[in-house]
Amino acid sequence: MSAIIERPKIRACLFDMDGLLINSEEIYTEVTNSVLKDHGKPMLPWSIKADLQGRPGTESAARFLAWSQLPYSPEELYGIFGERLKKRWHTTAPMPGAVELLTKLKGNKVPIALATSSYRGNYLLKTAHLGHMFGLFSEANTVLGDDARIPKGKGKPEPDIWLVALATLNANLPDHMEPIKPQECLVFEDGIPGVMGAKKAGCQVVWVPDPNILNVFEDKKDEIVGEWGEILPSLDAFDFAKYGL
């Protein structure tokens, strides 16, 4: 019988954005289905949606095209989506419990960083009207999908974006403090690729999936989050005491 390894104490929290902090994944789904409808195609299945979540834009477009067989290149499709999405990003809203969670972590002096696959242009459009929430992240601790520190082809589900986000926190620690280790980070994610990347980075994970995606992956949910993972229905269900926060 193998010994139970105790979880390291959490010293920092890292956050995805789309679908976790804001309802932008709903908007992505609506726009995707509008493009499919234009071509007489069925709506996007949740199993395919789960594979696209959190990936860099052109990679997500390439995977979508492999399934949908629409007559575009990934770059063309990304442009079509971009034009339709641009008209919707001003409507994004915080997900339940998101502002409260971030505010409490800041009040408790827990270091936080944002790690989103959204490129800077889209990030600004999605968040310009949500300064009360995204102002809680410093610019130095906001890592975007087109950050030069993330090698090309190394977006989620690779660990790079999470490790870069952690590095931004360690860069600002007082000299007397030990650097924060990946296993001392709690990653909050709604997408399976992001969860995979966080696990590869060695972090602990809180997975907050869309209920439709959780239904599709019900039989694999424990495997997805791993030994040091937890599944929550929403961010307002997070238990601070459980993690000593």
- Alpha carbon of residue 132 to chain centroid: 19
- Alpha carbon of residue 141 to chain centroid: 15
Catalytic residue, from 16, 51, 160, 210: name it: 16
Q: Residue 16 catalytic?
A: yes
Q: Residue 147 catalytic?
A: no
Can you give the length of the chain in residues? Answer: 245
H/E element, 186: strand 185-189
Which residues are catalytic, by number?
16, 18
